[in-house]
């Protein structure tokens, strides 16, 4: 295919697509990038970046509300949603401008419009067909709903609508106690709303270690966030003032929760329907594109990255896969990505962060006798006391082996996951980490002390 329009033709310019485009261009390949919306995709425009801006505004609100605890006289006069949204949109627009400039500066051809896969090496946008020696599918995800649950964008909303709200709702039912549900519940509670989370699974953030779920539930209870786990959703009706949500309790009895809004946060589905993947013979499973560990689909020269590939739906995973694919196409033979080594963070108050295996998975893999765990309480960490945050660092190691899981709860622990993922990905032993000097007083020290304790040199009490 020497006469193809591009060496790499990418369908979708979200985290996976644009990272692939930038790296491929850097490696001297001719790149075409197809995008129907704005460069940057979900993460930049309706995902990670705007939600974290809201969460930071929520943190500022909490600080104002609790200022007296620190001897500062301040009062919270209310939330100006127009001001919050202007701040959030400013962050997004600066990052968008930077990304657009980068893509332009690298000589990447941006093709605006909806692309469809019309041949194994062909993407059609409007009436024009473009060919690529390699094609990368990176079409991203959308906010899912449940069968029979009608999202109207006014009273029954998804995270997309929630980011555009011009007011703080008086009360909200959040359907789904995963990352997105917990983050919005946290924001709205900080802004003064009454919040009830409804989750069918037995605990909040069910993909995390059980100890992390319990700690988050304790903190939410203290904050007055109501949550009902093990509680399937039944139906929703509009009322004069909002919605009435019917749920099923543990014994099958039904109850109704009334609120102004229902946020549907039941996860994200792959955007693949109608894009020609099926017709071209790409192997799919329930809308997801199946790949091998090198992000290759079953079609020669066709790759897939990001949220359309089964696994963690995280921007940084898509980003890394995009870079991997560009390097693979350029013949650099990169190392496959270890999915367990991808850090995971829920940016609620408090935050939950983890990398590697949780205790249940570690015990299942190596046997309960084959692992050792240690939990270091943030009560022993000076900076956490200064910040008045509670939580822990929990480590899991293979008996006499490397650390295979790090789980943390507490304000700002998302910032500690960087060192934690190095320890996991470099197969560090507690004895390797224990002698490293951690600055004092930082929360980062808690990681250091936990490893000291796991290496048999405990300086504080731990469990």
Per-residue pLDDT of the chain (463 residues; tens, 9 = 90+): 668 999 999 999 999 999 999 999 999 999 999 999 999 999 999 999 999 999 999 999 999 999 999 999 999 999 999 999 999 999 999 999 999 999 999 999 999 999 999 999 999 999 999 999 999 999 999 999 999 899 999 999 999 999 999 999 999 999 999 999 999 999 999 999 999 999 999 999 999 999 999 999 999 999 999 999 999 999 999 999 999 999 998 888 999 999 999 999 999 999 999 999 999 999 999 999 999 999 999 999 999 999 999 999 999 999 999 999 999 999 999 999 999 999 999 999 999 999 999 999 999 999 999 999 999 999 999 999 999 999 999 999 999 999 999 999 999 999 999 999 999 999 999 999 999 999 999 999 999 999 999 999 988 655 4
Position 148 in a domain = no
Position 344 in a domain = no
CB 303, CB 137: distance < 8 Å: yes
pLDDT at 226: 98
> Nearest to residue 47, comparing CAs of 144, 143, 153, 185?
143
Position 210 in a domain = yes
The CATH number that applies at residue 196 is 3.50.50.60
> Nearest to residue 130, comparing CAs of 1, 263, 320?
1
The distance from CA 432 to its chain's CA centroid, rounded to whole angstroms, is 30
Q: How far apart are CA 369 and CA 346, in angstroms?
A: 30
Position 462 in a domain = no
Q: How far apart are CA 58 and CA 56, in angstroms?
A: 5
The distance from CA 237 to its chain's CA centroid, rounded to whole angstroms, is 30
Question: Does 138 share its domain with 10?
Answer: yes
* 194-198, strands of its sheet edge to edge: 156-157, 261-264, 171-175, 194-198, 226-228
> Nearest to residue 284, comparing CAs of 178, 139, 145?
139
Give how many domains the chain has, as a whole number.
3
Position 147 in a domain = no
Question: Does 257 share its domain with 292?
Answer: no
Position 381 in a domain = yes
pLDDT at 228: 98
- Taken in order 112, 117, 122, 126, the sign of the CA dihedral is negative
Pairing of strands 122-125, 128-137: antiparallel
Question: Does 255 share its domain with 295?
Answer: no
Query: Which of 231, 266, 301 is where one domain is finished?
Result: 266
Question: Does 21 share its domain with 87?
Answer: yes
Domain that holds residue 225: 156-266
Query: Which of 250, 266, 282 is where one domain is finished?
Result: 266
Question: Does 136 share its domain with 274?
Answer: yes
Question: Does 19 share its domain with 52?
Answer: yes
Question: Does 254 share its domain with 289?
Answer: no
Bond preceding residue 441 cis, omega within 30 of 0: yes
Question: Does 225 share its domain with 253?
Answer: yes
What are the start-end ranges of the E strands in 276-342? 284-285, 288-289, 302-304
Residues marked as catalytic:
440
Position 59 in a domain = yes
Position 218 in a domain = yes
The CATH number that applies at residue 444 is 3.30.390.30
pLDDT at 2: 62
Question: Does 275 share its domain with 233?
Answer: no
pLDDT at 461: 55
pLDDT at 249: 87
Non-local CB neighbours of 86 within 8 Å, separated by 6+ positions = none
pLDDT at 378: 98
pLDDT at 416: 97
CB 446, CB 376: distance < 8 Å: yes
Query: Which of 266, 283, 315 is where one domain is finished?
Result: 266
Helix, strand, coil shares, percent, the chain, to 5: 35, 25, 40
In three-state secondary structure terms, 50 is helix
pLDDT at 184: 98
Write the CA distances from 150 to 164, 176, 228, 262, 271, integer angstroms.
19, 16, 22, 11, 19
Q: How far apart are CA 277 and CA 334, in angstroms?
A: 26
Alpha helices, DSSP H only, in 112-271? 159-162, 179-190, 210-223
């Amino acid at each position: 295919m020497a006469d193809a329009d591009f060496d790499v033709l990418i369908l979708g310019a979200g985290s996976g697509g644009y990272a692939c485009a930038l790296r491929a261009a850097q490696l001297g390949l001719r790149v075409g990038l197809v995008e129907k919306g704005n460069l940057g995709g979900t993460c930049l425009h309706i995902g990670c970046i705007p939600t974290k801006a809201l969460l930071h505004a929520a943190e500022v609100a909490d600080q104002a509300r609790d200022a007296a605890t620190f001897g500062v006289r301040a009062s919270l006069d209310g939330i100006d949603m127009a001001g919050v949204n202007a701040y959030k949109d400013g962050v997004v627009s600066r990052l968008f401008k930077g990304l657009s400039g980068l893509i332009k500066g690298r000589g990447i051809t941006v093709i605006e419009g909806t692309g469809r896969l019309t041949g194994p090496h062909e993407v059609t946008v409007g009436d024009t067909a473009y060919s690529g020696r390699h094609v990368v599918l990176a079409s991203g995800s959308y906010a899912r709903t449940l069968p029979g649950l009608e999202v109207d964008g006014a009273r029954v909303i998804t995270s997309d609508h929630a980011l555009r709200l011009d007011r703080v709702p008086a009360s909200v039912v959040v359907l789904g106690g995963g990352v997105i549900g917990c983050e919005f519940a946290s924001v709205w509670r900080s802004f003064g709303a009454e919040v009830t989370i409804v989750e069918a699974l037995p605990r909040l953030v069910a993909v995390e270690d059980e100890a992390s779920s319990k700690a988050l539930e304790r903190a939410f209870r203290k904050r007055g966030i109501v949550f009902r786990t093990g509680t399937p959703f039944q139906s929703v009706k509009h009322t004069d003032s909002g919605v009435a949500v019917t749920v099923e309790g543990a014994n099958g009895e039904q109850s109704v929760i009334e609120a102004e809004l229902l946020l549907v946060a039941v996860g994200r589905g792959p955007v693949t329907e109608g894009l020609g993947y099926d017709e071209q013979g790409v192997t799919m499973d329930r809308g997801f594109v199946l790949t091998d560990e090198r992000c290759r689909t079953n079609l020669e020269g066709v790759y897939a990255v990001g949220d359309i590939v089964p696994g963690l739906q995280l921007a940084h995973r898509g980003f890394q896969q995009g870079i991997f694919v560009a390097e693979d196409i350029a013949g650099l033979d990169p190392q496959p990505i270890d999915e367990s080594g991808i850090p995971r963070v829920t940016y609620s108050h408090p935050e939950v962060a983890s990398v590697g295996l949780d205790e249940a998975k570690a015990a299942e893999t190596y046997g309960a006798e084959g692992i050792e765990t240690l939990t270091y309480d943030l009560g022993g960490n000076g900076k956490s006391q200064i910040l008045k945050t509670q939580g822990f660092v929990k480590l899991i190691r293979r008996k006499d082996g490397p650390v295979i899981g790090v789980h943390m709860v507490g304000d700002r622990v998302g910032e500690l996951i960087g060192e934690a993922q190095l320890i996991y990905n470099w197969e560090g032993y507690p004895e390797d980490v224990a002698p490293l000097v951690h600055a004092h007083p930082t929360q980062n020290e808690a990681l250091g002390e936990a490893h000291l304790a796991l290496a048999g040199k405990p300086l504080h009490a731990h469990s």
